[in-house]
Amino acid sequence: MSTSYQNPSNPAPRVAEMPTISATELKNATADVFEQVAARRAVAITRHDKPRAVLLSVEQYEALTGEKNPDWLEKLHEEYRGLLDRMQGPDQRAAAERAFNATPEELGEAAVWAAQQNKNRKAAKGDA
């Protein structure tokens, strides 16, 4: 299965990349800081020149918590649950039991066989 899942929202900026304001500036100019947050999605609040907190826009908070669009995450959970169920079937349990009880010679043969299969797949794709 080669499905790729990505959070559809823009990724959150790293704290080191965020614009910063001091706690004093926040206290003295709260309305201006809110405007900065709305425009930039997030602002790091510093105290003694060290980031201590992050103030997020509502949109960024919802994107990070998945409140608006959790569909991608639910699809991923469904796929995981299905994969887990398939991995715990009787055939898979028997294969795992055979692998754990295999001799070193049997494991070597299986490794050579798997390498040959991989080589054959690459050759069929033209990757060889």
- At 86-116, the pLDDT tens digits run 888 899 889 889 989 999 999 999 999 999 9
Three-class secondary structure of residue 45 per DSSP: strand
Interior CA angle at 120 toward 117 and 122, to 5°? 110
Residue 64 reports pLDDT greater than 70: yes
Instruction: State residue 1's pLDDT score.
Output: 45
| Global model pTM greater than 0.75 | no
Q: For residues 102 and 3, give the distance between their C-alpha atoms in angstroms, rounded to a whole number.
A: 33
Average pLDDT over every residue of 5-25: 73
Q: What is the CATH number of domain 15-65?
A: 3.40.1620.10
| Calpha distance 101→103 (Å, rounded) | 7
Average pLDDT score over residue span 111-123: 93
Domain boundaries, the chain: 15-65, 71-125
Region 116-122: what's the mean pLDDT? Answer: 93
User: 46: burial class by Cβ within 10 Å (0-12, 13-18, 19+)?
Assistant: middle
Helices (H), the chain: 23-28, 30-40, 58-65, 71-87, 90-100, 104-125
Strand partners, 44: 20, 54
